[in-house]
Amino acid sequence: MLRDAIRSLAEAKIAPYAAEVDEEARFPQEALDALVSSDLHAVHVPETYGGAGADALATVIVIEEVARVCASSSLIPAVNKLGSLPVILSGSEDLKKKYMTPLAKGDGMFSYCLSEPDAGSDAAGMKTKAVRDGDSYVLNGVKRWITNAGVSDYYTVMAVTDPTKRSKGISAFVVEKSDEGVSFGAPEKKLGIKGSPTREVYLDNVRIPADRMIGEEGTGFATAMKTLDHTRITIAAQALGIAQGALDYAKGYVQERKQFGKPIADFQGIQFMLADMAMKIEAARQLTYAAAAKSERGDADLTFQGAAAKCFASDVAMEVTTDAVQLLGGYGYTRDYPVERMMRDAKITQIYEGTNQVQRIVMARNLP
Ligand SMILES: Cc1cc2nc3c(=O)[nH]c(=O)nc-3n(C[C@H](O)[C@H](O)[C@H](O)COP(=O)(O)OP(=O)(O)OC[C@H]3O[C@@H](n4cnc5c(N)ncnc54)[C@H](O)[C@@H]3O)c2cc1C
């Protein structure tokens, strides 16, 4: 029922703008409005704070179905979870009430600020600093590649509070867009997910009350990593949705397109490609849903499973979307058809929330 509801909404209110959003590299406001009005923009927020209280699997299905028609739009529910999960996992009750309530209402989105210009895969090498001053912390630094920066009202920011302790000297904070000293860089000009703004976040002597710290001092990096264990599964869901969208489109196209006097779908060479695409998608789906169940239960092997789901599903998305372009021949290579957009969008799922090399490092360290 949930899938049917989201699919109808996505097809009616999000899909019609997907090509335009990509072409113009503009934020998918129509998608945000549609998701907010159906309470699907941040489904993971617990009911206690006015949220829909969806479990990890339901959240995955929402993201998958939105990504099936528009990958950029699927970053609305996905990044709202990524940005706010540190507060849900480690924040004080006051912090949860203060920030989860407007998020649930659709009054403000959340972004997640871990990466920096010189700290990507090695996120613990960050330089952004937070210095205690009485009842405040003062933050200075640059966060890079921040999804939905400028659009979001709230930012979870990881910053160094004790430079002698590396990852154990990092703390997490909630920073608001309206805090004095917060500003944003120009939107990055990207290969795909062009509708999702990616910008730098500048923190220039940003003074925030000390109670905006998420959890204890020095626990921010652990919270950031624990968050990724859960949210990598949402990237797997995004990849899965993109792949399914490409397969669905190609499946229809091969029935219509005639060469050598018959639909190309009649050729076994084409049928085998479609079979492989569907098989890979189904394997990715099973891995992703199993990981979502582990996320919900907090199983001990979540770290391995989340990394495996993200890595596998994103590789599948890249293969399937590339094959979808192939199935459309020359037409697939043009922007008159959606599969080249899907191929460009798929690529990022192999890169963010840890590249697939980093996922393999994570899996190798947590072998079942
Ligand atoms: C569109 C977009 C949106 C993003 N959104 C966010 C966001 O909202 N919040 C956020 O905090 N970050 C975000 N990121 C950042 C993203 O998570 C990083 O880009 C990613 O973690 C890789 O870091 P890097 O780009 O610095 O690459 P690097 O770390 O410089 O890696 C370069 C290459 O080296 C490889 N490599 C690095 N170390 C190793 C190793 N030990 N072994 C093997 N290979 C290695 C990598 O896999 C990669 O292939 C986003 C990035 C993009 C492009």
Please work out whether the CB of residue 190 comes within 6 Å of at least one atom of ligand 1.
yes
Cβ-proximal residues to 106 (8 Å cutoff; 6+ apart), any chain = 36, 39, 41, 42
355 Cα to the center of ligand 1, angstroms? 6
Q: Are 56 and 227 in contact (CB under 8 A)?
A: no
Token digits of residue 90: 């480690």
Strands (E), 148-197: 154-160, 170-176, 182-184
| CATH number of the structural domain 221-365 | 1.20.140.10
Q: What burial letters (b/e) apply to 118-131, b meaning 16+ CB within 10 Å? A: ebbeebbebebebe
- For 186, other C-beta atoms within 10 Å of its C-beta total 8
Res 38: pLDDT: 96
Cβ-proximal residues to 246 (8 Å cutoff; 6+ apart), any chain = 277, 320, 321, 323, 324, 339, 342, 343, 346
Cβ-proximal residues to 116 (8 Å cutoff; 6+ apart), any chain = 126, 127, 128, 141, 142, 143, 144
Is it true that domain 110-218 has CATH number 2.40.110.10? yes
Please work out whether the CB of residue 357 comes within 6 Å of at least one atom of ligand 1.
yes
Q: Are 346 and 277 in contact (CB under 8 A)?
A: no
* Cα angle value 350/353/358 (rounded, 5°): 70
As a whole number of angstroms, the distance between CA 297 and CA 107 comes to 29
As a whole number of angstroms, the distance between CA 317 and CA 345 comes to 9
Nearest CA to ligand 1 atom 23: 120
Burial (Cβ within 10 Å: 0-12, 13-18, ≥19) of residue 163: exposed
265 Cα to the center of ligand 1, angstroms? 39
- Average pLDDT of each block of 10 consecutive residues along the chain (368 residues)? 96 98 98 97 97 97 98 98 98 98 98 98 98 98 98 98 97 98 98 98 98 98 98 98 98 98 98 98 98 97 98 98 98 98 98 98 97
66 Cα to the center of ligand 1, angstroms? 24
Is it true that domain 2-105 has CATH number 3.40.50.2300? no
Query: Which phi and psi (to 5°) does residue 25 adopt?
Result: 45, 50
Res 179: pLDDT: 98
Please work out whether the CB of residue 117 comes within 6 Å of at least one atom of ligand 1.
no
Catalytic pick from 65, 200, 340, 353? 353
Nearest CA to ligand 1 atom 45: 357
DSSP string of 79-128, one letter each residue: HHHHHHHHHHHH--HHHHHHHHHHHHHTS--EEEE--BTTBSSSGGG---
Q: Are 185 and 173 in contact (CB under 8 A)?
A: no
Please work out whether the CB of residue 172 comes within 6 Å of at least one atom of ligand 1.
no
CB < 8 Å & 24+ apart, contacts of 328-335: 328/250, 328/253, 328/257, 329/257, 331/253, 335/19, 335/23
Res 210: pLDDT: 98
Helix, strand or coil for residue 213?
strand
As a whole number of angstroms, the distance between CA 201 and CA 198 comes to 10
Which atom of ligand 1 is the closest one to the Cα of 111?
8
- For 192, other C-beta atoms within 10 Å of its C-beta total 21
Res 55: pLDDT: 98
43 Cα to the center of ligand 1, angstroms? 27
296 is catalytic: no
327 Cα to the center of ligand 1, angstroms? 31
Q: Are 271 and 255 in contact (CB under 8 A)?
A: no
116 Cα to the center of ligand 1, angstroms? 10
Q: Is beta strand 154-160 parallel, antiparallel or unpaired with respect to 110-113? A: parallel
Q: How far is CA 232 from the centre of its chain?
A: 8
Q: Probe ligand 1: pick from 79, 84, 145, max atoms within 8 Å of CB? A: 145
Q: Probe ligand 1: pick from 351, 359, 360, 363, max atoms within 8 Å of CB? A: 351
Which atom of ligand 1 is the closest one to the Cα of 196?
1
What are the residue boundaries of the structural domains of the chain, listed by start? 2-105, 110-218, 221-365
Burial (Cβ within 10 Å: 0-12, 13-18, ≥19) of residue 203: buried
Helix, strand or coil for residue 171?
strand
Of the candidates 143, 139, 170, 175, the one whose C-alpha atom is nearest the C-alpha of residue 156 is: 175
Res 330: pLDDT: 98
